[in-house]
Structure 1
Amino acid sequence: MYTTQLDNGTLNNYAVEPKVTYAEYPAVYEQRRYIIQGAIAALFVTAVILTSFAVS
Structure 2
Amino acid sequence: MDKLLTKKVEELTLYLIEKDAKEREQNQTIDELKIELKQIKAQLNAVSKLVSNHK
TM-score scaled by structure 1? 0.52
Residue 21 of structure 2 corresponds to residue 46 of structure 1: yes
Structure 1 stretches of 5 or more lacking a match?
1-25
Higher relative contact order (CA 8 A, sep 6+): 1
TM-score (norm 2): 0.53
Among all aligned residue pairs of Structure 1 and Structure 2, give the percentage whose two residues are the same amino acid.
0
Q: Give ranges in structure 2 of 5+ residues lacking alignment.
A: 32-55
CA distance in 2, matches of 1:27, 1:46: 29
Calculate the aligned-residue CA RMSD, in Å. Answer: 1.3
Runs of 4+ in 1 over 2 A off after TM superposition: none
Higher strand fraction: Structure 1 or Structure 2?
1
More helix by share: 2
